[in-house]
Every structure is written in C-alpha cells, then in structure tokens.
Structure 1
Amino acid sequence: MASWLLRRSVTAGRSSSSMSMAAVRLNTPPPPGRAYDVFINHRGADTRHTLARQLYDRLLQLSGGRVRPFLDNVSLRPGDRLVARIDEGISQCKVAVAIFSEGYLDSAFCLHELASLVEARKVIVPIFYGVKPSGLVLPPAVVESSALAPRDVERFRAALREASYTVGLTYDPATGDLAELVSAAANAVMKRIEETETSVQ
C-alpha cells in the first residue's frame, strides 16, 4: 500500500489534516445489501456539505431509492476498512462523478480515486466547480512529495488528462445557481446509468 494512503483516517470530528476524511454521519447509514451505482469523487473540504451531499440526495430522490450512490462521509461506517470500502465503491459503480474544486489537486487520495476510476474504464461525469479543465495540472508540491512514488505521479497525470478531455459541467460558485447544477448533474448521471444498463441487456 502506498505510504500516503496510510495517512488518511476516519475521525470522530473535524478532519485532522488535509489528508484526513470527514466524520462519518452516524445518523444516515447507507442502505445495505446492494452494489453501489454511482461513485462521487470529491474534495470533502470544498464540497462535502454543498454540491456532493446535495447530488447524493438528489440521486436518491430522482430514482426513488433505486440508485445507490457512494459518498464517503455518508457511506462509510465505523469499523469499515477505509481503502477496501472505497475500492469496493469504485469497482461496483456504473458511473462516477468527479467534482474538481479549488483544493482537489492538493489531495493525493482524490487523485488516487480518480486514477482508479480511469483505469477501471468507468464512465466519468466531470464537474468543474470553480476551476477550468485546462487547470487540471498537478501542483509542484504534489509532484515533489516524498510520499508519492513516480508511478503514482504518472497515474495522476494520466487521469487528469483524461478528465480534462471529457465533456462535463462547469460552475462558477460566485455567480452560478447550485440547485440548477445539482439538477443537471443528477440528470446526466441518471441518463448514463440507463445507458449502461441498456447496453448490458
């Protein structure tokens, strides 16, 4: 396991570092027993309580609970093995949403999730939340990090290139309507799920 993976931990309160995960919501356990349909890849500090959570709720609402999204701070429960559960969500999903926000590129874990989704050839719907596709470039601090192997850096770069050339949704937090973005993103995801289900019939 990569050394940087070991630094991400589930805490009982606020994130203890930029690599730490948000507290698990104990009052909203995920529905058990079914595979995940959608994986929401996001930087928690930027969008956990806004776009990511609203998209999660909207997908449940639109599908009448038929679609099961994976959102880390909702879907993970105390006692879960962090990496194993996230890998499970990635491997099971039909469609992924990658929310690129201001702090996204600083998170090796976000980048690892994205690279895993690309390598698994998942359908990815990008959302450029206050950033531009042309801005998906690894910052020097990530490239030069002693915790990252050269192979990880190349994986991340390849995944970002793939995402930057994928048609997505753009949003300016200063002027945009978040409700409209959530609706557009949820509709795009539902359409992609329907297409994947039709293609395997």
Structure 2
Amino acid sequence: MASTSTSGRGQQERDPFWVLEPPKKKIKSSLTAKQFDVFINHRGPDTKTKVARQLYDSLQEAGIRAYLDAPETELGDYFPSAIKNAISSAAVHIAILSPQYAESPWCLAELALMFQTKARIIPLFYHVQPSDFRYIKNGVAEAFSKHEEKGRFPSHDIQQWKECLQNVSCLEGYELNKENDDPSKLCDDVLSAVVKEKQKRKIPFQVAQYAVGLDELVKDFHSHCQRNGQMRDKIIGIFGMGGSGKTTLAKYLFNSKHSEFSGSASLFDVRENHVKGRLTSLQSKLLNDLFPGNHYSFSSIEEGTAYIKHELQRSHESRFLIVIDDVDHQKQLDALLPKDTLNPNSLVIVTTRDERLLIKFEVTVRYKMKEMNPEHSKELFCWHAFHTQSCKRGFENLVDSFVEACGGLPLALQVMGGHVFGSGMAYWKLQLDEAKARLDKDIRDTLKISYDALEEDQKQIFMDIACGRH
C-alpha cells in the first residue's frame, strides 16, 4: 500500500518515492538532521559533469548549502531518505531538464516531491525545448511510452509525473542550447536568484522539538549577559560540553533578535565545515547574508578575511547580528570575525566547548551552560520516550535511572528517549544497562571537556543511538 503525506491543502498526497523503494523499508538516514538551501534535481549521465557539478561548486563557494547526491550522501546512508530530507529542507529547487531526463523515474519522483513542498522551483532547460515537456512530445513522449510498456509504475504515478513536467515547463527559468551555451553565466544568474529567494524567505530556525526549560535558560542567560537591558559587550561567548544546548540557545537568540539589526548572518557547524575545508564557504556565506545582492566567493582564507574586514569597515555604521556556532580553533574566529571592525552596537554570539578559546580571543562576557535540573530532565526524556510530558505507568523507576545516567545533558536525554520510544520494558532494561556502561562517571567527565575526547568505539556507540541504529 502506498504511503501518504498531508499536503498544504489538507488532502492526502501519495509519497512520490514509494514506487521506487522496497516494500516496508524503514531505514533512517544520517542526513535527517542536515539542512540544505538548494536541491539540484538532475539526470547524472546527461548533466552532472557538464552543468550540475559546476552549479553545485558555484553555490558552495558562495556559502550556500546545496545538495548534489554524491558529495552529501555518506557511506551507509539510505538514499531515498537522504534525498527526501534534502528536498524537504531546501528553500529553492533547481530542476535541470535534459534530453533523457524523463527516462529516469528518480528524477520524476524528485520533481513530484519538489512540487509538494511548495518551495520555489527554477527550471534549467539543457539542450531541450520547454514545449517538449509542456506537450509531452518527442523524446519525452518516448520515455513515457517505455515506462508504460514495462508496467513497473502505476498509471496514477505516471500521470502525476506528466503533470509535473507540464507545470515545470511553464515556470520562469533558463535555457542552455547551441546558441547560448555559457555555464559560467548561467551559474551567476542562478546564484543571484537563489540569494534573492533566501533573503525573501528568511525563516526562523527551528529551535527545539520540545523546548523544555528554554524560558528559564534564556532568562538566566540574559541575567548574566545583560546590564540595564543591553548586552554587556558586542561579543558574547556561550560555552559548555557537547550536547548541552549551546546551539539551541544560539538559534533562539538569533530568532528573537535578528529583526533589531540592519543585517544578520548565522554560521552553524563551523568546526565540521573547517574539517571539510569549507572555511572559505563560511566566509562567503557571512558576507552574502550581511550584504544580500552581492555574490562573494573566495579562493583562499586570507582573501576572505581581507574582504570581511574591508566590508565591515565600509559599513561601520550598520548594526549586525552574527552567530558563529561550534568553533574549536583560533583560526576559525580569526577568519570569520575581525572584531575591531564591528560597530560597537553589533552583537556576535560565539558558541564553543572550550572556554579557553574565548579567553584567548578576549571575549570578556562568557556564559556557561548548566546541566538541566532533574525535573526538566525527566520531562524532556518523557517527551522523547513517550511523546507525552509525563511518564507511562510502570516505567517510573526506569525513567529515573535513565535520567540519572544522562546526567542533565539535553542531547543524551533526547537520544536515549528517542532510542527506547515504542519499545517494551525488557528492551528498556537492556538499553539502560548499556547506557550505564557507556555513560558512567568517567565518560561523562570526559564529555564535559569535549565529545572529541571519547574513544572511537564510545563515539560510535553514542552515534549509533543518535541515529537510531539498533
């Protein structure tokens, strides 16, 4: 039986991927927590090396998170889940329509899901005529004849795919043909359209699924970091162990304050991006967010640093809000934050696991994340374990034991609760023994310094639980 999803019109819509997936397949992707700005829908043999990859590189260099299957799909990912997550999170979809596009059921299923999300779709007609898709003729008609002959896909889905192609052919887009075959100009044009769309759709971050204790946390933060209703300094540091809620607090502050400033920028997962060699992409994103309409792209960190300093000096009268999340090296702050060039009334929020980094960078106002109190810990765990605020009868002692093992760490409470959700008491007891063995006092003390200090097998156990791998 086909799976369904609720559309914005209140109707039940068929999941376009169901016909491509094995029956009763339930595999989670490690990409489910990742967010993308752009999804590039394309048929690899036609366009990957000629257009799609060049477009992807152009977006990445500008600090825009694009999804092009291979670079973002990690070993062990379940491909349909990864693709669906990328499409659902992207604010802009780019459909590269090529001569053999309609032959790919994957491309057609992706396009159907793109239309369901209601996000903007930018078509790119690569050596094809829009009329071929609008009227389902020539090579497009031949491709559908083959789909129908093989009898692999239900008529409902084939009809839906045809309608999506007809609809996308009517959208404003770009054409590449023999007379107009300049991928570089195309990339510039698409980049401009994506940046404008991002600014238009500046959607608040989702702070937390269950915001347990958030009001008290924000109140405590303000009491520590404010004086007479104003921040005590233009740079505020938030530090604490991995999983203690630093990013959650930073997202809340960004959502609640960005409208007070003339410009804002959010740089999350700095440590991970640095490891992947994407520090220049973060530099580009910083300036593209602060100065929409310009397209910054840097070939070196030194070039990016110089541009950031120049642009901030040139706009010294402007007040900016900047979030720099999860830094672990002085080089990252030096590259992203030439602090002496900022307007004194700007606000920069830096999160890190290492307070020493903040001290070295001369951040004088520093807020230390605290462990959740027992009451909030129990409530957060229950939300994830039972999807209710309170404990299920008969599980009281087990819940208390799990909460104690997690030691007031929000991420651990969320992960452990989600891991046992829907399971019986015997499984709970088995997992509690595992949790106590892996999250004993020594390991929790190590976590307070950094998750990175864990042994590799301990990291893997924790990530296995986080990703729901039993």
TM range (shorter): 0.7 to 0.9
Structure 1 counterpart of 2:115, one-letter code: V
Deviation, structure 1 residue 38: 0.5
* Aligned positions of 1:20-169 closer than 5 A: 34-62=34-62, 65=63, 67-136=64-133, 137=136, 138-139=140-141, 140-169=145-174
1:155-179 deviations in Å (ceiling 9; x for gaps):
1012111101101001115651121
Structure 1 counterpart SS, 2:76: coil
Provide the rounded CA distance (Å) in 2 between the counterparts of 1:167 and 1:143.
30
1:119-170 deviations in Å (ceiling 9; x for gaps):
2212100000111111112431123331111121121012111101101001
* Larger RCO of the pair (alpha carbons < 8 Å, separation 6+): 1
1:53-73 deviations in Å (ceiling 9; x for gaps):
1111111222xx2x2111112
Provide the rounded CA distance (Å) in 2 between the counterparts of 1:2 and 1:116.
11
Provide the rounded CA distance (Å) in 1 between the counterparts of 2:185 and 2:175.
11
Q: Is the 8 A contact 1:42 1:52 kept in 2?
A: yes
Structure 1: unaligned runs, 5 residues or longer = 7-30
Could you tell me the TM-score, scaled by structure 2's length?
Answer: 0.35
Structure 2 counterpart SS, 1:73: coil
Deviation, structure 1 residue 197: 1.6
Structure 2: unaligned runs, 5 residues or longer = 1-16, 23-30, 206-258, 260-470
Q: 2:182 aligns with which of 149, 154, 177?
A: 177
Aligned residues: CA RMSD: 2.4
Provide the rounded CA distance (Å) in 1 between the counterparts of 2:53 and 2:106.
19
Counterpart of 1:13 in structure 2 is none
Give percent identity, aligned residues only. Answer: 31
Provide the rounded CA distance (Å) in 2 between the counterparts of 1:60 and 1:4.
29
Structure 2 counterpart SS, 1:53: helix
Structure 1 counterpart SS, 2:36: coil
1:26-78 deviations in Å (ceiling 9; x for gaps):
xxxxx99641111000000011112111111111222xx2x211111211111
Structure 2 counterpart SS, 1:35: coil
Q: 2:196 aligns with which of 185, 191, 195?
A: 191
Provide the rounded CA distance (Å) in 2 between the counterparts of 1:32 and 1:75.
12
Provide the rounded CA distance (Å) in 2 between the counterparts of 1:49 and 1:33.
28
Select the structure of larger CA radius of gyration.
Answer: 2
Could you tell me the TM-score, scaled by structure 1's length?
Answer: 0.78
Aligned pair count reads: 174
